[in-house]
Amino acid sequence: MSDRQDGPPDDAVRICMVCGRVLDYSTTRGWVHTLADEPADHVPVVALQSEAPQQAIPRCDFCQADEVVWSLPARDFRYPGLPDGSVGAWVACDPCGQLIKRNAWSDLSQRCADSYASRRGGITPELALGMRRVHRELRKNITGPIERLRQ
């Protein structure tokens, strides 16, 4: 098991051995739980997904739903609302994936804002606008059609 928490990340996915969630890499903090999993009740115990005895438990990169069934290929990009940028493909639940397939990005952004508001007890207009802007930037960096993940 790799518990290395420092240094630049490679392309290998890291998961937390405590909760099974995929981790993000922060240039200032190392491997951290994603925003959807914060505040976490534990410090991440980092392992390479390929070496972990459990399967990673992903979340939709859009609305944070637990059941991921789509992958949207994208180039890495930097964006002010994402301090460490966006790396690689974005995964989506079926409702978000269907909105992407229909090119219904305004509806997708609204779904994301509604999901955030229900989890956090509200959303500011600035954050909702920020979500739309991140989605706009993502659209500029899509490299192919959305694809159903193998189940």
One digit per residue, the tens of pLDDT, for the chain of length 151 reads 434 444 455 667 788 888 888 888 877 888 888 877 777 789 999 988 788 777 777 889 999 898 899 999 999 888 776 666 787 889 999 999 999 999 999 999 999 999 999 988 899 999 899 999 999 999 999 999 999 987 6
**pLDDT recorded at residue 9:** 58
Query: How many C-beta neighbours within 10 Å does residue 123 have?
Result: 18
Regarding whether 130 and 76 lie in a shared domain, the answer is yes
**pLDDT recorded at residue 151:** 60
Residue 76 counted as domain residue? yes
Last residue of a domain, one of 32, 57, 82: 57
Range of the domain at 126: 70-148
Instruction: Compute and round to an integer the Cα radius of gyration of the chain.
Output: 15
Query: How many C-beta neighbours within 10 Å does residue 126 have?
Result: 7
**pLDDT recorded at residue 83:** 65
Contact yes or no for 38/19 (Cβ under 8 A): no
Regarding whether 43 and 81 lie in a shared domain, the answer is no
Regarding whether 51 and 79 lie in a shared domain, the answer is no
Q: How far apart are CA 47 and CA 22, in angstroms?
A: 10
Regarding whether 114 and 82 lie in a shared domain, the answer is yes
Regarding whether 138 and 75 lie in a shared domain, the answer is yes
Exposed/middle/buried for residue 131 (C-beta within 10 Å: 0-12, 13-18, 19+)? buried
**pLDDT recorded at residue 84:** 67
Regarding whether 133 and 74 lie in a shared domain, the answer is yes
Q: Structural domain tally of the chain?
A: 2
Residue 62 counted as domain residue? no
Regarding whether 133 and 107 lie in a shared domain, the answer is yes
Regarding whether 78 and 21 lie in a shared domain, the answer is no
Cα-flanking dihedrals φ and ψ of residue 74, to 5°?
-150, 150
